[in-house]
Amino acid sequence: MTHDFPVPGWDRYESIEFIGEGGMGRVYRARDPRLGRWVAIKIIRQGSADIQERFMREARAQARIEHPHICPIHEVGTVGDFPYIAMHYVHGESLEKASARLTLDQKVALLAQVADAIHAAHRLGIVHRDIKPANIMLEPDAVGGWHPFVTDFGLARDTETDGTTVTGAVLGSPLFMAPEQAKGALSRVDRRTDVYGLGATLYFLLTGRPPVQGDNVFQVIMRLAHEEPEPPRRHDASIPRDLETVVLKCLEKEPQRRYESAQALATDLRHYLDGEPIAAHRASLWYRGVKLVRRHRLASAVIAVAAVAVLAAVLMAVKARQDAAHQAALAQQFGAAAKETEGFLRVAHMLPLHDIRRERTVIRERMAQVRQAMREAGRLADSPGYYALGRGHLALQEYEAARGALRQAWDAGFRTPDAAYATGLLLGLLYQVEREAADRISNAELRAARLEEIEREFRLPALDFLRRGAGAQVESPLYVEGLIALYEGRHDDALTLAGRGFRQSPWMYELKRLEGDVHLSRGSDRVNTGRYEQAAKDFQRAGEAYRAAAEMAHSDPALYEQVAALHLARLTRARNALDRVQAIAADGLSACEQALQADPERGSAFSLKSEIIRLQADVLAENGHDPMPVIARAAVAAAEGVRLDRNNPAAWVTLGDAMQRKGVFLSYRGEDPTPALTEAIGRYGQALKLNPRQFLAHHRLGQSHRLIAEHLLNQGRDPVAELALASQALERARELAPKAYSLYNTLGNTHALEAEYRSDHDQDPRPALEHAVRAYEQGLALNPRLTKLLCNRGMAFETRARYEARHGIDPAPALRQAIADHRRADAEEPDSAWILNNLGFANAQLAWDNLQNGRDPAPPLAEALRALERAHAINPEDSYIVDNLAFAHLIQARGEWARGGSPGAELQRAGDLLRRELELNAEERWPYVGLARRSLFEAQLAADSGRDAAALFQQARGWAARGIARCGGIPELHLLAAEVELARAAWTQRRGRDAWAALDETARRLEADAVRGADRAERSLLLAECRLRQAANASDGLTVRERLAQVEQMLDESAAINSRRARLGAVRAALLLRRAAAAPAGEREALRADARRLQTEAFRLNPLLRLEVGDLFAGR
């Protein structure tokens, strides 16, 4: 902890370091050990009540705003006597520092995003009041660009409360504050104050200086209040005129002459970037003259005060009446245009099925005329014009464009019941699209998290606007009431209203679609709660309603998309019946084709088509068929959806999903999935660039990185970099959906996979395991009975146990923790093959450790066999269950031999299982390891009984070689091959034959680079035994004394890592016997006594050593 943090010894955060200082306090960088993330901690330096209130107001204001470009608050609290805020730590720098390196377009685009964020604050009644380049932080994004965050809401004013700022106080950064702030006129501070700050920031980005400068604060404030800023082009003539116009409009002295909202500013900035005309206009010559007069008030007042006052009053009254009349006429004109476009397209929809692109072109031309009229009429036309454009986009089913235009109209003051109704209708349609997509998420927690997200974003605002739209001119008020009932979940009421409405207006096909939407919504709810028979009836009724609607509206593509969405919902319940899946998929694809007949350029229809085909591929794979040709068709359809709708993040996610599934299928076939998964990662990145708050896209991005890591791991390659990227994406998903406990499971599994890799490569897995266990426990805090979290935490304890066993620590406590977790999971879900497999394997590991260390293996082995036999009976085709059951029978065979019994039956059972495993999964190492160890044990049994073991040793060598050929990068396989070679050499020596070549081959393998990542203690121990055996007939010029010195050094190296192995004591005993043979007569007996003591203890702890190294003591 740093020396300047005011509360030493704070245990909530760690690695605290000072990074900066602001007006109210200091900022520290710290690590949150609970969640494993870096945060920025802001803490007050001063203690006045006013400062503390402002500080807490910052927390409240910033925490209320949910926007990707507002720096998120993680925690608010008090440490000691100091209030603090913990927020997202931005890994970057301020806009002020980065400005010189940015291109002009980057600066404009970043400011547009910041304006969007400020507009989100304004919608909640929060005014920032201190916008400046230093309060905008930039973080590099995944695609090489910048992600801005607005910070420091310390001066924010909540317009819904009185606030706590001292009346008349001048707060803010003078170089960037608005004139009303400089004058202390807080009653005039509103959203347009922030528009000024945005303009001042843009001025700085364009010119490298603030709009007003001075030698001191007082001079700056005086100039700010009374002088106009110099036009930016006077500083740099290359600045585009449109940008100068935008800046100067923001910097108007009178707030009413600035942009009406931050959203309006963002729109103009994007118009500039898109090469479209901006809405802002340069101030007229008359207005500039008025401002000149205002700067010289004394001289002007003497000449004209009386005349101007009278004339101004008259002119203002006349102009107000003229403006009102003109705006009303424009509203009527544009409203008529909106109704004309809607009626024209509705007629087109009701014609026989045909390509409606020609009609859509006519509507776009009509909308272009509205835009031209808006430009000619000036600002008075903005609000009714944007409303008309929004209605046009809504009729064209261009929902995002409609949303932007209607929002601009509303923000500009066009808040009629008709505008509210149109906005509510639009948000409701967006809610339905997102709701239907969410219902297709198979994971219940992720589905619930997504439903909660879209409820906030779409459902609640839709209901609010529809209620505000009471009094709007609509064709059927019952239709509006039915929509409200649907969005409130009152399905019966919605059906009643739709039926009554259709009886009154039988030409209105939208009421039949509403009926279908209600049945689809209720059916999806019932599927999600397990009421499948009732859901099937709902889906049937939905299909009937949609067909009735399509009989009236043959050319409405949205209607056919609803039919396709219905069939997708049906597909999720038919995965076990291939023929039924194919029939439903055919119906869904037919609906997509009808949508594309009506509009061949409809990207959303291609995306739906891709989803249907992808589900087909999944079911084909589950039923043993080749899914690759089908998943290729899904990718083609998704790519077409992206081509036609590049600004739709959902289209990019659909393409990412298709590529991810392709990667999974390639992995199943033993082929390299990396290219497909890398493409999936790129597609999810594009989706997140468009909408950084999509937790599902972050989740799938993390999954794709993890799948690459698993492939690398199976190939014996380092997966750590991919696992770090996976953890980063999954952590972001968890932040966005903190109640989705499945995300904690996936995040924990990712850390556990890193731990497994590190453990297998003789690296310390414990930090990764701590992260894994923490993630599982956070998930269990949300759902203590979730079996996958319990089992995965148990498997993390197993990984820790394997590391401890290799490093001389008793693994039994960790294995008992694992077994306890698996037992709890088994009690919750008693017939799960996966849980039983985990319970059996943990017990088998404990039994194996007991057998090698003088403890009774029988109790855990009995539980292992019971659990694994049950798992195998439930799922005999799972290769991992088969492998673990074979492992348990091999332990049983060794135990039988150690007790003096016959291991034959257990060896036979293990062999049968391992050969079956090889049929099920020849791509991974496990069957080769099992078969090699079984053949090695049989060879040692044959050698011990005096039989010819050559063929069995050759079998063991062959299995190890095949494993290396398949998964050559895994050090464990190379170590196993060396162990087999050493055992073969020992058998050769035992028969009195020259084993030098076999021992030399063993030493070569043990010293090769390929084995260096394996268990170092085991490697040193085997190498020591090899050198000890070579000492008997050394032929490399080394003396016996030198050879024995090497052996002792290697044994010491092994003991330094793991002194717990019984085999270590046995080899050391053999070394002492060799030394005794060459020692002076007076030392021999002591050396032999020590050797006998070590040998006796080693063989007591592990009776299997009689097979492995017993020949070292023959005749001694």
**pLDDT tens digits along 1010-1020:** 887 788 999 99
| Confidence bin at 1060 (pLDDT 50/70/90) | very high
State residue 505's pLDDT score. Answer: 84
Q: Could you give the 3-state DSSP secondary structure of residue 1052?
A: helix
Assess whether pLDDT exceeds 80 at residue 1007. Answer: yes
User: What are the tokens at 99?
Assistant: 């400005």
Is the torsion defined by CA of 603, 605, 608, 613 positive or negative? negative
State residue 112's pLDDT score. Answer: 97
Task: Indicate the length of the chain as a whole number.
Answer: 1116
Averaged pLDDT of the chain: 86
Tokens 């790519």, located at residue: 639
- H or E, element range at 619: helix 603-622
71, 62 Cβ separation under 8 angstroms: yes
List the CATH code of the domain at 14-88. 3.30.200.20
* Ranges 140-144, 404-408, 755-759, 826-830: which has the least confidence: 140-144
Average pLDDT over residues 310-316: 42
State residue 849's pLDDT score. Answer: 96
Average pLDDT over residues 857-869: 97
Q: pTM, whole model, 2 decimals?
A: 0.59
State residue 183's pLDDT score. Answer: 63
| Confidence bin at 94 (pLDDT 50/70/90) | very high
Average pLDDT over residues 531-542: 89
Assess whether pLDDT exceeds 50 at residue 282. Answer: yes
As a whole number of angstroms, the distance between CA 592 and CA 601 comes to 12
Q: Could you give the 3-state DSSP secondary structure of residue 573?
A: coil
Looking from the CA of 331 toward its CB, the CA atoms found within 13 Å total: 16
* First-to-final CA distance of the chain: 62
pLDDT (tens digit, 9 = 90+) per residue, 1033-1046?
Answer: 655 556 778 888 99
- Strand pairing report for 93-94 and 146-150: unpaired
| Confidence bin at 322 (pLDDT 50/70/90) | low
As a whole number of angstroms, the distance between CA 1003 and CA 982 comes to 9
| Confidence bin at 1004 (pLDDT 50/70/90) | very high
* Ranges 621-625, 725-729, 851-855, 862-866: which has the least confidence: 621-625
* Backbone region of residue 672 per phi and psi (left: phi > 0; alpha: psi in -120 to 50; beta: other values): beta
123, 284 Cβ separation under 8 angstroms: no
631, 615 Cβ separation under 8 angstroms: no
Average pLDDT over residues 938-955: 95
In the chain, domain spans: 14-88, 93-295, 305-355+365-401, 1015-1116
- Residue 466 one-letter amino acid: L
Q: Which residues contact 22 (CB under 8 A, 6 or more apart)?
A: 42, 152, 154
* Backbone region of residue 712 per phi and psi (left: phi > 0; alpha: psi in -120 to 50; beta: other values): alpha
State residue 21's pLDDT score. Answer: 77
State residue 671's pLDDT score. Answer: 86
Assess whether pLDDT exceeds 60 at residue 663. Answer: yes
State residue 327's pLDDT score. Answer: 57
Assess whether pLDDT exceeds 50 at residue 2. Answer: no
Q: Which residues contact 28 (CB under 8 A, 6 or more apart)?
A: 2, 5, 16, 17, 18, 19, 40, 41, 43
User: What are the tokens at 654?
Assistant: 């659909």
Tokens 């996936």, located at residue: 746
Assess whether pLDDT exceeds 60 at residue 879. Answer: yes
Neighbours of 783 (CB within 10 A): 15
Average pLDDT over residues 693-704: 92
As a whole number of angstroms, the distance between CA 798 and CA 803 comes to 9
State residue 173's pLDDT score. Answer: 60
347, 354 Cβ separation under 8 angstroms: no
- H or E, element range at 474: none
| Confidence bin at 898 (pLDDT 50/70/90) | very high
Q: Which has more confidence, 760 or 1100?
A: 1100
As a whole number of angstroms, the distance between CA 42 and CA 25 comes to 7
pLDDT (tens digit, 9 = 90+) per residue, 149-182?
Answer: 998 875 444 444 433 333 333 334 678 988 887 6
| Confidence bin at 575 (pLDDT 50/70/90) | low
Average pLDDT over residues 411-433: 91
pLDDT (tens digit, 9 = 90+) per residue, 45-78?
Answer: 655 555 566 667 667 777 788 899 999 988 888 8
| Confidence bin at 133 (pLDDT 50/70/90) | very high
What are the backbone dihedrals phi and psi of residue 89, each rounded to the nearest 5 degrees, phi first?
-90, 120
Average pLDDT over residues 875-897: 95
- H or E, element range at 1069: helix 1062-1078
Q: What percentage of the chain exceeds 90 in pLDDT?
A: 56
Tokens 């043993």, located at residue: 624
* Ranges 503-507, 929-933, 943-947, 1083-1087: which has the least confidence: 503-507
Give how far the C-alpha of residue 1016 lies from the chain's centroid of Cα atoms, to the nearest Å.
37
State residue 838's pLDDT score. Answer: 95
Q: Which residues contact 544 (CB under 8 A, 6 or more apart)?
A: 516
Q: Which has more confidence, 866 or 412?
A: 866
User: What are the tokens at 1096?
Assistant: 């006796």
State residue 1038's pLDDT score. Answer: 64
Nearest alpha carbon to residue 349 among 196, 560, 168: 560
pLDDT (tens digit, 9 = 90+) per residue, 451-510?
Answer: 888 888 899 999 999 999 888 888 889 999 999 999 999 999 999 999 999 888 888 899
Between the CA of residue 1093 and those of 914, 1087, 1100, what are the distances in Å? Answer: 39, 10, 11
Average pLDDT over residues 641-655: 94
Q: What is the CA radius of gyration of the chain?
A: 37
Looking from the CA of 631 toward its CB, the CA atoms found within 13 Å total: 21
Assess whether pLDDT exceeds 90 at residue 192. Answer: yes
* Ranges 171-175, 532-536, 711-715: which has the least confidence: 171-175
As a whole number of angstroms, the distance between CA 1103 and CA 245 comes to 90
Q: Which fold has domain 93-295?
A: Transferase(Phosphotransferase); domain 1 (1.10.510)
Average pLDDT over residues 234-247: 95
* Longest alpha-carbon distance in the chain: 132
State residue 305's pLDDT score. Answer: 41
Q: Could you give the 3-state DSSP secondary structure of residue 318?
A: helix
- Residue 897 one-letter amino acid: W
Strand order through the sheet with 14-21: 14-21, 25-32, 37-44, 82-88, 73-79
* Ranges 367-376, 397-406, 737-746, 827-836: which has the least confidence: 737-746
Neighbours of 1041 (CB within 10 A): 11
Assess whether pLDDT exceeds 70 at residue 187. Answer: no
As a whole number of angstroms, the distance between CA 837 and CA 847 comes to 15
